Amino acid sequence: QVQLVESGGGLVQAGGSLRLSCTTSGRTFNSLGLGWFRQAPGKEREFVSAINRNGDNTLYRDALKGRFTISRDNAKNTVYLQMNSLKPEDTAVYYCAACYSCISYYKSSYDQWGPGTQVTVSS
């Protein structure tokens, strides 16, 4: 079982930046594909970005390309989501998710989830 814990959320003005982190427990981090999803109030949880186990393949939601960057540090068991030029519509709870040896756009591919971190972007 992998435990995931997100951090780095908060309140930021439009145009600002935040870096989210997701740290995992266990010894299998190098085997994990990792994804970020978000859920705004009253909306479905949606895909944001994903990275494969080696960090050499990434996926992004089309609308977020160029503003968000995913990366990982296998030595620190941590995956990051750098979010720049934030907009009020980026306001959501951001979730980290893990799957074994996969990279995917789909929630159903991930079997471990963190509790989420709130990101609020004010206009």
**Residues 28-75 pLDDT 10s:** 899 999 999 999 999 999 999 999 999 999 999 999 999 999 999 999
| Residue 88 pLDDT class (50, 70, 90 cuts) | very high
Q: What confidence score (pLDDT) does residue 122 get?
A: 97
| Cα 3 from chain centre | 15
Q: What confidence score (pLDDT) does residue 27 get?
A: 67
Q: What confidence score (pLDDT) does residue 101 get?
A: 87
Query: How far is it, in rounded angstroms, from Cα 121 to Cα 24?
Result: 26
DSSP 66: T
**Residues 92-116 pLDDT 10s:** 999 999 999 899 999 999 999 999 9
Whether the Cβ atoms of residue 17 and residue 86 lie closer than 8 Å to each other: yes
Q: Which helix (DSSP H) or strand (DSSP E) does residue 67 occupy?
A: none
CB atoms inside a 10 Å sphere around CB 114: 21
Strand partners, 100: 32
